[in-house]
Amino acid sequence: MDENIESHSLSILLHFLSPSSTWLSMHCSEARLDTIEAQRSTDMSHDQRRQRSFLMKMINKGACMISSRGLPQGPQLMEDTETVPKFLTNLKLSDLNNRPGEDVLMNPEIFSAMRGGNIDFLKKMKTNETTPMACLKNNKGDSILHIASSWGHLELVKGIISECPSLLLEKNSKYQLPLHVAAGAGYSAIVKVLVESLTYFSAGLHEEDKANLNLYVMKDINGDTALHLALKDLHKKTEVRMYHNRIRLLIFMTHLMNKKVIISSPDTSIRQMELAAYLVKANQQASFLENKDGVSPLYMAVEAGNVSLVNAMLNLPGNNVQGKTFDLASILEGRKSLVHAALKAKNTDVLDVILNKYPSLVNERDEERRTCLSVGASVGFYKGIYKLLVLSTPPNVYECDGDDNDGSFAIHMAVEKGHMDIVKELLKRCPDAIYLLNEQGQNILHIAAKRGKAESFLLGYVRKLDTKNHLIEEQDVDGNTPLHLATIHWRPRRMDASKKHYA
């Protein structure tokens, strides 16, 4: 009994300590007075008032074409009307075009009500015949649907869509749709409602017309889709979460030493991953689109180390055909160095998924022209290096980094960072790699002497392979031997060890 109470208390404590707490992030990021934001006296510019999204124009054109074809425009769009959400049952396709007029700056009372999730106020707004609520915008171009979505007010969102479905297509000053806003805020329930709405309206359309309602590929001012925003900074949050979890475990370790208590820590990152998976299921194409930083949601998912999400993104129709693999390079925008990202994340499961589906990616180089082996050796990911060596031994071992990376090889990077287990594995498979030189004419002993990362065992291990002392006596382009560099960088212990091993 006491153990159960203790476990429940610890779970509650961990929830509020969680670095990814939704409550904490929401209140920290939105700690502004409503009246300051809503009561700005500056009128909306002429351009902003006249702004219409390109998507709205396409929908207007598409709706006319659909109407002329005699296609159904009401609830019949969905084959099974029993599955239509209640808030959508009275809507028809033409309602998407029902944009009653120019933008009107909303007053502080409306803004506060929307932020507060006041659904009764929405009913009051319906009776206002002077200003249609679909025209209301704040100074950032947010509609009432943007505001309700950003604050996670589910019932209010449903009510707004039921009254003003055209707001599904409205963009704010950042070119973000309500779908962007909800995904970025991490509100999965809101995203599902928005997706349901889009699915309802597009269900009976021809493929060419469905493209006009594909909001999943629409990009904001930074080139981000809704899927990008759902995954934004997730890999960083994952690292922070892992660090905080270790701290918490240390705090409670003594207390829990002799008790069978399970600590459960609610994790916002898990919820974000579920949200992202839902968006991938709705539209897989968005997984491969780059933003202005040249990063795709697929690349972000690999960085975050989520194997199920990466699997879902890579589960392309062409891959289901026996003996055929879809050409990922033809559709993936931006950074294509997925193996490099998996190595940096030190995630063997994600690495397996990528290499099993697209083994040729082992030969890709990143934006700095570094090889996969070089990156894996640099971060010290032994398991990843082992897998790469199984696939690419020996060619990639003898490929150096390009551009501004001084022509270093994977073994040089491992020595520089002090990852001796990787050095041994590389030499075990490719003994001749011990003689590789970078552009400065330096071998692994030069680098060890310069960086001071090598342990004494490296010198002994090298001597077994280099029986004629070529490495210790070899000069770089400046005429320096490893002993010279050890002296220059004042590493007396390295000097003594070198003299002892090569005496």
- Distance of alpha carbon 326 from alpha carbon 46, whole angstroms: 48
Tell me, yes or no, whether 358 lies in a domain: no
Q: Domain count of the chain?
A: 1
- Whole-model pTM? 0.74
Tell me, yes or no, whether 182 lies in a domain: yes
Helices (H), 400-469: 410-417, 420-429, 444-451, 456-465
**For position 207, which CATH number holds?**
1.25.40.20
Tell me, yes or no, whether 150 lies in a domain: yes
Domain assignment of residue 136, given as a range:
32-218
Tell me, yes or no, whether 181 lies in a domain: yes
- Hunting for tokens 């609610």 — which residue is that? 266
The DSSP element (H or E) to which 17 belongs, if any, is helix 2-17
The DSSP element (H or E) to which 282 belongs, if any, is helix 268-282
CB 467 within 8 A of CB 434: no
Query: What angle, rounded to 10 degrees, do the helices at 372-379 and 382-392 form?
Result: 160
pLDDT at 455: 52
pLDDT at 58: 46
Q: How many CB atoms lie within 10 A of CB 58?
A: 15
pLDDT at 451: 75
Torsion of CA 58, 61, 67, 68, to 10 degrees: -140
pLDDT at 217: 95
Tell me, yes or no, whether 147 lies in a domain: yes
CB 423 within 8 A of CB 414: yes
Residues of the chain with pLDDT under 70: 1-82, 129, 234-269, 317-326, 393-394, 403-405, 453-468, 489-503
- Distance of alpha carbon 495 from alpha carbon 445, whole angstroms: 11
Residue 32, judged by CB atoms within 10 A of its CB (0-12, 13-18, 19+), counts as exposed
Q: Which is it for strands 136-137 and 104-105: parallel, antiparallel or unpaired?
A: parallel
- Distance of alpha carbon 344 from alpha carbon 419, whole angstroms: 15
Torsion of CA 404, 409, 413, 415, to 10 degrees: -140
Tell me, yes or no, whether 8 lies in a domain: no
Note every long-range contact of 85-92, with CB atoms under 8 Å and residues 24 or more positions apart, other chains counting: 85/158, 85/193, 85/196, 85/197, 85/200, 87/158, 87/159, 87/161, 87/162, 88/161, 88/162, 88/196, 88/197, 88/200, 90/162, 91/162, 91/165, 91/200, 91/201
pLDDT by residue (tens digit) across 34-93? Answer: 443 444 433 444 444 444 444 445 444 444 443 333 333 333 334 444 478 889 988 888
Span between the terminal Cα atoms of the chain, in Å:
69
Tell me, yes or no, whether 356 lies in a domain: no
Tell me, yes or no, whether 82 lies in a domain: yes
Percentages helix, strand, coil for the chain, rounded to the nearest 5?
65, 0, 35
